[in-house]
Structure 1
Amino acid sequence: MTGPQADGYGRGAAILSVGIGVTGLITYAYFSLASHTLSEEDYGGITLLWSAVFITVSVLYRPVEQLLSRTIADRDARGYKGRDHLRVAGTIQLALGAVFAVAALALRGPIEDELFGGSSTLYWVLIVAVLAYAVSYFARGFLAGSHRFGLYGGLVLMEASSRVLFALAVAVGIASGQSVVALGMVAAPIVSLAVVPFALGRVAPAGRPPEVEAANARALDEASAGEPAGEPEFTLSHGSGFAVAVLLIMLAEQTFLNAGPLLVKAREGAGGAALAGFTFNVLLIARAPLQLFQAVQTSILPHLTRLRAGGESDPFRRTVNVTLMAIALFATGVALVMAAVGPSVMDLVFGGDFSYDRGGLVLISLGMGLYLVAATLNQALLARARARATCVCWLAAAGLFVAFLLVLDFDDRVLQVEAGYVGAALVLSGSLYALYRQQ
């Protein structure tokens, strides 16, 4: 099981790395075009809309994506053919979407007036985009668990490509205004679902030889010890604990990525949108590599789950260690680039009246590395069925980050966000590593 699984993991990560890497560059282009064509206040509204959309969809829908990815991979290894897990996951996703719709409609006044400065267009873009992403994230979980990594990459690539066309239309003069740029966030998840018919055309990947299936099934039966994903009949109770823990982890994750700009906007009042947009630009140094790292996150969870189920502890550790080493090298390289030419690059890409501090850019680069370390350890711990303890670490670190931003009062709000991000990422990665070392 080690050789074929290792090859499959490597191929999957490589395919996704290409697709998601290009996606990250296209997303960067979307914000660069928007930054150059919109006023600072209007661009700040776009960044706030982006933060609101992706906080919501990541918290609500990624738990089902990861639950599907883990469960489908496990059931495929065991040879189970039922679809109860798909119905359960679909029910959860529909319920979460309905809860969001009811809450967002009930809170229209505060969302539209206080967050979006009275823009009804941004409010409705938020509603429609979040509901569309319910289907998109379900498809992602299905594709990842089924090892359809090419289609997964195609989905996210189509999403980013369709979104950037709206910003490009404004940049070349075909259209104008904040509303057109914002509409790209609605079109993206809808257009990306064009890959779904291809996925449904073949529910499962090509089977392995019967003797391999049998050996895998025996190993999993002996080692999984009653984990939720291994039951022949998949019910809501089987996956609820995992899904709730991952939902809270996603809430903490989005706090790391988006609380900074949102709290800057809230604390600076009516004039805070431009500064929030600038803070968002700085944090793109941390956010953009996460687009590429999605390839690792997507493929590593089912891979590590299979290794643990088969009792293959050495390959498990090697996979984690190699990933951590690659992250360390990557983060060091980014920090060196930011130290050398960071301010010039950021000014060239985003323009504007703000100046980018070299030290702050290096800080964010190092924090990005620590955060990616934590994200890797998170997947390893989920594969080990340590979701609850992992969730506690995430919530504690995210709470520390928010407290740092709310309690302290720096003259330089951007520096406060940078320092808080790095400190909280250090606490998170350290606590998750301590938990990982317990087994």
Structure 2
Amino acid sequence: MTADAADAPAARRPGSRSLGKVTVALAVASVLGYGLLVLCGRVLGPADYRVFITFWGVAFGLGSAISPIEQEVSRLAAEAELAGRRSGADVPKVVAVAAGIVAVFGALLFIPGVNGQLFPDHGELAAVTLGAGLGYAVLYAVRGLLVGHGRITPYAGITAVEPTIRAVVAVALVVAGLAGITPLAVAVAAGTFAWLVFAPRAARLVDVRGAGRGWGPVARTTSALMAGSALTATVVTAFPAMVNLLAPGGDPAEVGSFLSALTLARFPLVLLLPVQAMAVPAVVRLVAAEDGRRRLAGWLVKGGVAALVVGAVGTVLGALLGPWLVRLVFGPAYVVAGWAVGGLVLSSVLLAAVQLLAAVLVAFARPGVVLRVWACTAVSTLAVLAWWPADAVTRAVVGLLLGSAIGAGVAFVAVWRQGRER
């Protein structure tokens, strides 16, 4: 038995101190992430910010599409840890499949029609996006290994280092007088290579000669999870790009202001990625216990009630305080209606519930069900965005509300059924 596997699995379970470290790391990531968005918004102004936030949406949307490999690797790692061994050959296979899919998607961004629509006068942003995607493919695998094997301290570290790199590079560019759209985009992409700091530690957790499935099963599982997450991205991180593609036109300043409010309402969902990854091995261990499925059902009911309460309170506060907060953060040029902010907050709460429920389904090794959940969410949202007879802002808000509500309902039923199966 290897030194890494010699520790009892129970010793690797996150305790309160470990969860505290992750909480601190998430707080750091939140502050630095919001700070970077505010810095870019103030430096660029509403019109240029619309182009930058579209790049941000595509880059982080691609990152969100890749993010399921963190959950899948964490599941594989948790199962290996329970068996007292290192992760096997499936881990590098998952990374290879994800990188291949990223390369195919990145090639699409260079198509003139797509490039010009997404990045007008800044076609080079396609290359920056591709680089960020390849960095994410390795980053999420490293994070999955660390959390799945219970290495919570380095996992918290990589969660904090990623946004720190972005912020440091961006501030350096602003100080140097290079605060254009492309340099700031490069700063965003730089954070995805935070894995270089933690790669040696993660490599010790993998035995590439260990047992694993064939390329076919790995490719099918990874592709299904990434397809579901790509649908997730269309309603979370890449939604600004969807607005530009499916609801073009309108006053650039008005749409840019709405997207600034969307940025504030959506950013916490990106921070849920580490929580999702931690949830996967936790559920794997939970259902292995004698009364685990009964406890899971109880948590599901309590979580559903909590989501409804938080959503109701958040909607009211968003409608009352949202427009003021947007002006305070981004500047007086950013004006957005209160009802729109309230709707964005409610949809964000519902999408957070869908993300956590999807992580539970990943733990049950049900990639097909995850794909169906996000298909229902994305298709309904984008259908309203494309065809609802109203202005772009109204279509965006109504679509997000409808899609997130449908997705939450489908995911809740799916998890309830999985929890009752024996």
RMSD: 2.9
Q: 1:280 to 1:144 in 2, by over 3 A?
A: farther
Q: Does 1:55 align with 2:34?
A: no
What are the Cα deviations for residues 130-152 of structure 1, in whole angstroms up to 9, with x where unaligned? 22222212212222212222222
> Which sits farther off after the overlay, 250-259 or 162-171?
162-171
Distance 1:368 1:313 in 2: 28
> Does the Cα contact within 8 Å between 1:308 and 1:383 map onto a contact in 2?
no
**Is the counterpart of residue 39 in structure 1 residue 45 in structure 2?**
yes
1:302-358 per-residue CA deviation (whole Å, 9 max, x = no partner) reads: 111222234421232344445445545544453343244221111010125342211
Change (3 A) 1:135 1:232: closer
Aligned-pair CA distance for 1:55? 1.8
- Deviation track 1:90-117 (CA, whole Å, cap 9, x = no partner) reads 332343344345444xx34234323211
Identical residues among aligned pairs (%): 23
CA distance in 1, matches of 2:88, 2:246: 48
Pick the aligned partner of 1:250 from 210, 214, 229.
Answer: 229
Q: Who is 1:96 aligned against?
A: 101
Number of the residue aligned with 1:294: 273
CA contact (8 A) 2:25 2:156 kept: yes
In the alignment, is the contact (CA less than 8 A) between 2:67 and 2:226 conserved in 1? yes
Between the aligned partners of 1:292 and 1:45, the Cα distance in structure 2 is 23
- Residue 163 (structure 1) aligns with: 166
CA deviation vs aligned residue, 1:250-304 (integer Å, no higher than 9, x gap): 0221111145422432356577654543332222243222134234212111111
1:47 offset after TM fit, Å? Answer: 0.5
Deviation at 1:75, TM superposition (A): 1.6
Q: 2:200 aligns with which of 187, 197, 201?
A: 197
The letter for the 1-side match of 2:244 is K
2:391 is the counterpart of 1:437: no
- What corresponds to 1:148 in structure 2? 151
- Consecutive unaligned residues of structure 2, counting only runs of 5 or more, are 1-8
Residue in 2 aligned with 1:217? none
Whole-Å separation in 2 of the counterparts to 1:233 and 1:6: 23
Q: Per the alignment, in what secondary structure is the counterpart of residue 236 of structure 2?
A: helix
Q: How does 1:8-27 map to 2 (within 5 A)?
A: 8=14, 12-27=18-33
Task: Verify the 8 A CA contact 2:77 2:86 in the aligned structure 1.
Answer: no
> Paired residue for 1:113, among 112, 116, 137?
116
Q: 1:265 maps to what in 2?
A: 244
Q: Which residue of 1 aligns with 2:400?
A: 421
- Please give the secondary structure, in 1, of the residue aligned with 2:178: coil
Does 2:297 align with 1:317?
Answer: yes
Which range moved further: 37-46 or 318-327? 318-327
- Cα deviation 1:121-166 (Å, max 9, x = unaligned): 3232222222222221221222221222222222232221121234
> Which residue, 127, 136, 139 being the options, matches 2:139?
136
Q: Residue 82 of structure 2 aligns with which residue?
A: 77
Instruction: Pick closer, same or farther for the CA change 1:238–1:11 going to 2, 3 Å.
Output: farther
Structure 1 SS opposite 2:124 = helix
- One-letter code aligned to 1:265: N
Count of paired positions: 406
Mapped to 1, the partners of 2:277 and 2:302 lie a distance apart of: 16
Separation (CA, whole Å) in 2 of partners of 1:277 and 1:16:
33
CA distance in structure 2 between the aligned counterparts of 1:7 and 1:84, rounded to whole angstroms: 23
Distance 1:88 1:173 in 2: 41
Indicate conservation of the 8 Å contact 1:63/1:244, yes or no.
no
Q: Aligned partner of 1:203: which letter?
A: L
Q: Does 1:382 align with 2:362?
A: yes
CA distance in 2, matches of 1:127, 1:259: 15
Q: Does 1:239 align with 2:242?
A: no
User: Cα 1:22–1:291, aligned 2, differ >3 Å: closer, same or farther?
Assistant: farther
d(CA) in 2 for partners of 1:9, 1:299: 12
Corresponding residue of 2:5:
none
Distance 1:324 1:151 in 2: 32
Deviation readout 1:7-65 (Å, 9 max, x if unpaired): 62655543322212220221111111111111322211110111111222322x22322
Deviations 1:179-204 (A, max 9, x none): 2212212221224532323434x528
Name which of structure 1's ranges 77-86 and 267-276 shifts more when overlaid on structure 2.
267-276
- Cα separation, 2, equivalents of 1:389 and 1:269: 33
Distance in 2 of aligned mates of 1:140 and 1:81: 15
2:47–2:252 contact (8 Å) kept in structure 1: yes
The change in CA–CA distance for 1:147 and 1:318 in structure 2 (over 3 A counts) is farther
Q: Partners in 2 of 1:252 and 1:185 — Cα distance?
A: 22
Task: For 2:255 and 2:118, locate their aligned partners in 1 and report how far apart those are by CA, in whole Å.
Answer: 12
Q: Is the aligned partner of 1:304 residue 2:283?
A: yes
CA change 1:321–1:147 in 2 (3 A) is farther
The answer (yes or no) to whether the contact 1:264–1:272 under 8 Å persists in 2 is: no
Return the alpha-carbon distance in structure 1 between the equivalents of residues 86 and 175 of structure 2.
Answer: 51
Give the 3-state SS of the residue equivalent to 1:39 in structure 2: helix
> Could you say if the C-alpha distance between residues 304 and 373 of structure 1 is closer, same or farther in structure 2, counting changes exceeding 3 Å?
same
Going from structure 1 to structure 2, the CA distance change for 1:7 and 1:316 (only over 3 Å counts) comes to farther
How far apart are the structure 1 equivalents of 2:377 and 2:87?
39
